[in-house]
Amino acid sequence: MRSGNPTPSQRIKSGIAVLVSLAILIGGGTLVGLKVYEKYQDWSQRDDYVGAGEANITITIPEGATWTRAADILERSDVIADAETFLEVYAKKQKADQSVDLSAALQAGRYKMKTHWPAETALDYLLDPANREKITVQIPEGWRWADQIEPKLIEESDFSAADFDAAYASAADADNPLGLPAYANGQVEGYLFPDTYELPESAKATLALMVSTFNAKATALDLEAQAAAISAEEGIPITAHDVVVVASIIEQEVNIAADRPKVARVIYNRLAQGIPLGVESAFRYGRLMTDGTPYTDPITAESQQDVSLPYNYYQNPGLPGSAISNPGEAALQAAVNPAEGDWLYWVTVDLKNGTTKFTSDPAEFEEFVAEFNQWCADNGNPEGCQ
């Protein structure tokens, strides 16, 4: 029940309370009189609840919501009985302390509340930032959207696959809601920066946050200027998007810091000489993009010859048209700071500790391949072996 000056509805209820009392007296305390009283009690508390609440419920306050919107959400969820009552309590609290702007105190996010709370209880709960539930998700370097990032976000959030699919597809919208840089050409893969995130209020806002983080890193790296410098130095056309693609390959191929700039060097050397990259991770990514499942089968000599297969850069020249993973800062740094060397090949000869060898000699390359195959045989051909 509310306190303070009576509202019109409270004055009406006071009058009805007198009539209900008369009904009970006339009914002599009979069952009829008691039923009338119970009905009155339900009606009289229709605009506010009393007590400590009932069922647990999680409420989401969207980004940019006003207190009026919050009141509507709470009423629809049966946290409070009446949005108008809630706003009256809000106005009273604001008037009591005008030194604090309560309108700025509403934070978007999820709140674990209860149904049938008094309006004042619900208001005080939302005013305490400690009550906002924080959902954090860690996205590692080199993860892909379809089979890694999206499933993780669905698992950790309240949003569905349809929500994230729609958010991902919105990259094609004219207003660029995800904030992708112009050189991304509307592609999302590669621009979802790996980091630990506190998830915002929607699937679209989640992807926009990841893209925004990429943009900040790209600005700090001066990615476009760095790409132009590589083009001039290597004598090949390299855009900022190409740098992201190179970094995405680096993330998939090696995990030792000293090897990243070497992989970048091999890629640029091959591009300069018109040699297909021959990158296994790109080939496997093509299968993922075709039917949504990771390609884990052995890559055969026959499949390497099939130019119809997407992302078959054993045969197709140049860089893949899109990134094959989402690179982190170290991979981006390596992509714009390639090591010095004439290498044309790399082979990771030990999947357990990541040992990778580099060479410019085709015969030595074959020796490295044999060393890798022997390691696979000695270790039971784990995932990643041919």
Asked if residue 227 is part of any domain, the answer here is no
pTM for the predicted model, two decimal places: 0.76
Distances (CA, A) of 56 to 62, 332, 347: 20, 46, 55
- Please check whether residues 120 and 247 belong to one and the same domain: no
Q: Does 228 map to a domain? A: no
Q: What is the chain's alpha carbon radius of gyration, rounded to the nearest angstrom?
A: 31
Q: What is the pLDDT of residue 289?
A: 81
Amino acid at 82: D
Residues 185 and 59 in one domain: no
Q: Measured over all CA atoms, what is the biggest interatomic distance in the chain, rounded to whole angstroms? A: 108
Residues 81 and 105 in one domain: yes
* Residue 272 is assigned to a structural domain of this protein: yes
Which residues fall within 8 angstroms of residue 266, CB to CB, at 6 or more apart? 343, 344, 345, 346, 358
Contact assessment for residue 242 and residue 224, using Cβ atoms and an 8 Å cutoff:
no
**At which of 194, 220, 246 does a domain end?**
220
Q: What integer pLDDT is reported at residue 119 of this predicted model?
A: 96
Do residues 212 and 252 share a domain? Answer: no
Amino acid sitting at position 148: Q
Task: For residue 229, tell me if it sits in a domain.
Answer: no
Residues 264 and 369 in one domain: yes
Domain count, the chain: 4
Q: Write down the pLDDT at residue 312.
A: 87
CB atoms within 10 A of CB 345: 20
Q: Are residues 39 and 166 in the same domain?
A: no
Q: Please check whether residues 260 and 372 belong to one and the same domain.
A: yes
Q: Is 145 within the bounds of a domain?
A: yes
| 8-state DSSP, 385 | B
Confidence at residue 292, expressed as pLDDT on a 0 to 100 scale? 74
pLDDT at 297: 74
Q: Would you state the pLDDT for residue 386?
A: 67
CA 236, 237, 240, 241 torsion-angle sign: negative
Instruction: Centre a 10 Å sphere on the Cβ of residue 133 and count the other Cβ atoms it contains.
Output: 11
Q: What is the reported pLDDT for 227?
A: 98
> Are 357 and 327 members of one domain?
yes
Angstrom CA distances, 62 to 40, 59, 111, 210, stand at 36, 10, 11, 18
- Is 271 inside a domain boundary? yes
Yes or no: say if 121 and 267 are a contact pair by the CB < 8 Å rule.
no
Q: Residue 117 and residue 234: Cα distance in Å, rounded?
A: 67
Residue 21 is predicted with a pLDDT of: 52
One domain for residues 372 and 279: yes
Contacts with 54 (C-beta within 8 Å, 6 or more apart), sequence order: 114, 115, 116
Structural domain harbouring 163 = 136-220
Task: Note whether residue 108 is domain-resident.
Answer: yes
Which pair of structure tokens corresponds to residue 17?
């309370």
Are residues 263 and 140 part of one domain?
Answer: no
Q: Mean pLDDT of residues grouped by 10 in the chain (386 residues)?
A: 41 48 52 50 67 94 90 97 96 89 87 96 94 92 96 92 97 97 97 95 93 98 97 96 98 96 98 94 86 74 81 90 96 98 96 94 95 93 80
Is residue 168 one of the residues assigned to a domain?
yes
